[in-house]
Amino acid sequence: MKRRSLPVAAALAASAALLLTACGGGDDKSSDNDKIAGADQGSATPSGSASTETPAKGKSDGVDLSLPTDMKLVFDWEKPKNANEAAAMDDAANFFRAIYRGVDKRTTKDAAVAAYSTGGGLKYAQTQIEAWIEGGWTATGTLRHYDVTTRSAENGTSVEVAFCADSGKFYGKEIKTNKVLTTKPSAEDFDYYKIIMVKYPTADDLWQASKVFVETKAAKCQ
């Protein structure tokens, strides 16, 4: 697996970048983290609109997804008409909420992480959380997700959710000192994700992230 900058604007002391392995996929090709799943194929543009922000307290699918009030995940996402795509998109957002709940709670074993990820998605979530724990940081600020598209597989059991993320106002914070590690705006703030969501076989509306592909410094998101 390749080393890359964490696709979140968290900084180390002395302005060094926080690094971690972005682990995508659950197959033999998953070690190539620069590949974007289906990048050469078109994505359908959903209709309708919705903008959601992670609440300080909240539960989904019976799982606690609450975050501190200073850690905000905003999803400026358009709602697709297809019911499966809409559910997969909602749970892709919950996947990211689960990651930052793990960061806040300092554990990779939070119930939300297990609920919304599997396979390569679970490995990605655990790697992200572990990097923050090992560095001694939590997160603060606003992480914005936007320009979402969804695309269903023919078998109806998987959905690709693709979107941009802007971490220009989302920072690392030292747990011991509460020092916020601010960064200057740059191309590093913009990432493009493709998440492969798979339907949980024994739940009607639960979808899990099974693969994560990240394009950093994404020009299309700037």
Angle (CA) 97 206 85, round 5°: 90
- What pLDDT sits at residue 149? 97
CB 113 within 8 A of CB 126: yes
Say how far apart CA 154 and CA 50 lie, in whole Å. 26
Residue 147's closest CA among 36, 55, 65, 43? 43
Q: Residue 32 to residues 128, 181, 213: CA-CA distances in angstroms?
A: 17, 30, 9
* 190: DSSP letter: E
Give pLDDT tens digits for 25-81.
333 333 333 332 222 223 333 333 344 554 444 566 789 999 999 999 999 998 999
- What pLDDT sits at residue 42? 31
Percent of the chain residues past pLDDT 70, beyond the cut? 73
Residue 94's closest CA among 197, 13, 217? 197
Residues across the chain: 222
Global pTM value? 0.77
Residue 145's closest CA among 45, 52, 46? 52
The answer to whether residue 115 scores a pLDDT higher than 70 is yes
The answer to whether residue 179 scores a pLDDT higher than 70 is yes
* Location of structure tokens 């501190």: 68
Please enumerate in sequence order all residues whose Cβ is within 8 A of that of 162, keeping only pairs 6 or more positions apart, or say none: 43, 148, 149, 150, 151, 192, 193, 194, 195
Between residues 23 and 79, the one the model is more confident about: 79
Q: Give residue 83's region: left, alpha or beta (phi > 0; psi -120 to 50).
A: alpha
Q: Residue 202 to residues 82, 116, 117, 199: CA-CA distances in angstroms?
A: 20, 14, 15, 9
Say how far apart CA 222 and CA 220 lie, in whole Å. 6
For CA atoms 35, 107, 72, 150, give the dihedral sign: positive
